[in-house]
Amino acid sequence: MSKTQITFLVVIVAAIALIFFLPSSDHKDQITYYPQEDQMSLVTISTSAGDIHVELNADQAPITVANFLKLAEDGYYNGTIFHRIIDGFMVQGGGLDENMAPKPTGTEPIQNEANNGLKNDRGTLAMARTMDPNSATGQFFINHKDNDFLNHTAETSQGWGYAVFGAVIDGMEVVDQIALSTTSTVGGYADAPLEPTIINSVTVSE
């Protein structure tokens, strides 16, 4: 065997050894990537007007999604209604029963996550609250149009905005139907439906 052939053989063997002993990066990439995908929970809000299928974003709103899922699993939302409805704005539910009686969650208010970059666009879910930015408990609303003025602008009482934590992926026609409900002032609540849409259950989809 010539010196040139020996040199070529050594180069080939070294190259093969390098391929086998280099650490694999593919597996690490998958480990860091897929958990982000798993942060999306699919939830069905079953109502008397039809089903609304929602994707919750625990990656960007972990506190809010965990609170919503815990209340759903405990059956808190069962029998509540969409009690505040403004066509072309939003439909709000999850806090009153069909007699317009408040249904306390029995939980502490959660931290406002409106600074997560998610926008109050049509079809998104956000948490309802009082003037206190960190007062949300169980009530939520579905934006019926793009409501930019509800978005986070600053960490002040006026600028905190409303925390978006999910979006409707199927059943927006049900939301549109709810938005057309005839409303009035009922039991001291403005923009309340005369014939309420009942939330039968909120369940995590299989």
Residue linked to tokens 């956000």: 126
Q: What is the pLDDT of residue 33?
A: 23
- Convert the pLDDT of each residue in 19-78 to its tens digit: 333 333 333 232 222 233 456 799 999 999 999 999 999 999 999 999 999 999 999 999
Q: What is the pLDDT of residue 29?
A: 30
Q: What is the pLDDT of residue 206?
A: 60
Torsions phi, psi for 11 (to 5 deg): -65, -45
Instruction: Pick left, alpha or beta for residue 127 (phi over 0 → left; psi -120 to 50 → alpha; otherwise beta).
Output: beta
Torsions phi, psi for 113 (to 5 deg): -110, 30
Given the DSSP bridges, would you call strands 40-47 and 124-127 parallel, antiparallel or unpaired? unpaired
- Cα 34 off chain centre by: 18
Q: What is the pLDDT of residue 70?
A: 97
Q: What is the pLDDT of residue 184?
A: 98
DSSP labels, the chain: --HHHHHHHHHHHHHHHHHHHSPP-HHHHHHHHHHHHTTEEEEEEEETTEEEEEEEETTT-HHHHHHHHHHHHTTTTTTEEEEEEETTTEEEEEEEETTS-B----S------GGGS----TTEEEE---SSTT--SS-EEEESS--GGGS---SSTTT----EEEEEEE-HHHHHHHHT--EEEETTEEEEESSPPEEEEEEE--
pLDDT means per 10 residues, the chain with 206 residues, are 44 36 32 40 97 98 98 98 98 97 97 98 98 98 98 96 98 98 96 97 88
Q: pTM for the full model?
A: 0.81
What's the residue count for the chain? Answer: 206
